[in-house]
Structures are given as structure tokens and as C-alpha cells.
Amino acid sequence: MQFFAVFGNPISHSKSPLLHNYVFYKLGIEARYTRYLLEKSHNFRDLFFSLGLSGANITLPYKEILFEYCDEIRGIANNIGAINTIVKKDSKLIGYNTDANGFFKNIEYERIKNALILGAGGSARAIACILREHNITPLIANRSPSKLQFFKQNGFEVCLYDDTLALSQSFDIIINATSSSINGELPLEESLLHLLFSHATIAFDLMYGKECKFLTLAQNHNLKTYDGAKMLLYQAITASSLFLDTKEDKIAKYMNEIYEII
């Protein structure tokens, strides 16, 4: 029997166990996936090994912190400096970031030249890096300066919310990568959002499963909108394929089935 878990705080809302356990069941694999409320991260490695885990997903607020706890980092996670998936290989913890591709798969066929990312946390990092890999230039805007340091150091354009000049430019897509929607808030002053939406064609909010003021406002401007539900699905497909060392196609079929139900 193999065991997997998603670690975060809070964690009770996570749909990851439903997605992963269904795939195990359909593929006839003896494995279980559970949630784990991680209150402190300093003993993460001991915890991982004492629980006998073969792999894990990492969510808010540990994606950057637990990056440091891996023995090896693979792929785009090296640029992002944050992980959301860990696979145990020969007693080593290998870290990956599947959020970046999970996000990009939503919009890969859209015509986008430039993007505005609101927020500067782990998910904003993933989105900025994957957009740049696809030659889309993002501006990253945040309400406070400290998290913008990472972006500055990595050659991204950044601004604070009070830089109305930078935010009066025209962007094809406006991405809300803040946690504002979880609390039913807008990430930015409504008047500024009206201005941004009047120039844009697409709005994306990473939250899923709840009414979203940001996307409602965007729809009032006739923008095409995406929430974070498919991002969750796509990142989970890639994570499952890493856990099981199985092709994504085989997993996607079942993950899509359960996604339609939950």
C-alpha cells in the first residue's frame, strides 16, 4: 500500500483526496491519499518519513518554505522557487511545481501578448515563470513590496497598487493570483479594475468553487473568464502521473470523470 497526502493550513477544503483516490481506485492501485493540517513546517521531513508517504502535495502557505526541504528540485520549480508536489525516490525528496503548467493549459490557445498578475505569492511566481517561458510578458503588481523582491531579482517588471501609471497600461489578460476572492474581496480598488477590464479580453481568478466578485465584474465588461477549477485539475493530473510514474493520458481520463462530479 502506498500513502500520499496534501499538506497545508487550512486544508479541510482541499479536493485533492477525492481526485487522487478516484484515480487509484480506477487504476486498481493500492494507495490512499489524505489531508494533513500542517501547523509548523520545521519538522516536515521527519513527518513525511514517519507517515510512510510515497509522495505529497503542498499548498498554502508552504510552497516556498518546503522548496528548501527537498533534496532535489526538478523542472520549472527551479525558476519558481516554490513546489507543490513531492515524490520520494530512494529516500530522497524530489520537488516539482505542477501549478505552472496547470495554469497555462487553461489559456494555451488564447491570443495573449501581455499579462497583469495581481499578487506576488507562490502562485504568482509560477504563473509569471510559465508565461515568460511562452514569451508572454507579465507585469506583477502587489499591495505590499516584500514579495515583489523575488520578481525584481529575476528580471520581471513589478509595481505596487498605487502605481496608477503602470496600471493604466493595456493588458490582454488580468490574473488575480491573490487570496482576496477567498474572503469575498476584490484584489484592487473597483475603479482601477473597471479601467483594466475595459482594455482586456480575459480575466482569470485562481480561486474555485465560490462566487467570485472579480470574475463577476469582468463578465460585466464582457471579458472571457476562467476560474481556478481546471488549474486544480490539470496540476493534479501531472502530480498523479509523477506519483504513479504513469502517463498523464491514462490518469486524465479518470481525473476528468471525478472532476465532473465534485
Shortest approach of ligand NDP to residue 216 CB, angstroms? 16
The separation between the first and the last C-alpha atoms of the chain, rounded to the nearest angstrom, is 25
**Choice between 44 and 99, CB closer to ligand NDP:** 99
What single letter denotes the amino acid at residue 107?
I
Q: Which of 33, 38, 45, 24 is nearest to 5 (CA)?
A: 33
CB 182 within 8 A of CB 8: no
Binding ligand NDP (rule: CB under 6 A), the pick from 79, 97, 101, 142 is 142
CA distance 231 to 257: 16
Assess whether 224 carries a catalytic annotation.
Answer: no
Q: According to the binding rule CB under 6 A, does residue 121 interact with ligand NDP?
A: yes
Of the pair 54, 179, the CB lying nearest ligand NDP is at: 179
Kindly indicate which of the ranges 19-27, 150-158, 180-188, 192-200 contains the residues binding ligand NDP, using the contact rule CB under 6 A. Answer: 180-188
Q: Binding marks (x or -) toward ligand NDP, 89..118, rule CB under 6 A?
A: ----------x--x----------------
Min. distance of Cβ 252 from ligand NDP in angstroms?
A: 16
- Rounded distance, CA 102 to CA 130, Å? 10
Strands (E) in 9-156, as ranges, are 31-37, 53-58, 72-73, 85-89, 92-96, 114-118, 137-142
Catalytic hit among 15, 63, 88, 213: 63
| Size, binding site for ligand NDP by CB under 6 A | 29
Q: Among residue numbers 197 through 236, which ones bind ligand NDP (CB under 6 A)?
A: 206-208, 228, 231-232, 235
Q: Which is nearer to ligand NDP, 191 or 222 (CB)?
A: 191
Site for ligand NDP in 35-64 (CB under 6 A): 60-61, 63
CB atoms within 10 A of CB 128: 29
Could you say which of 185, 189, 190, 257 contacts ligand NDP (CB under 6 A)?
Answer: 185
Provide φ and ψ at 8, rounded to 5°.
Answer: -175, 180
From residue 37, how far is each of 53, 114, 183 by CA, in Å?
Answer: 15, 37, 20
- Residue 190's identity, in one-letter code, is E
Of the candidates 80, 84, 78, 117, the one whose C-alpha atom is nearest the C-alpha of residue 99 is 84
Q: Residue with the closest Cβ to ligand NDP?
A: 121
The yes or no reply on residue 120 touching ligand NDP (CB under 6 A) is: yes
Given the rule CB under 6 A, which residues bind ligand NDP? 60-61, 63, 99, 102, 119-124, 142-144, 147, 177-180, 182, 185, 187, 206-208, 228, 231-232, 235
Give me the active site residues, please. 63
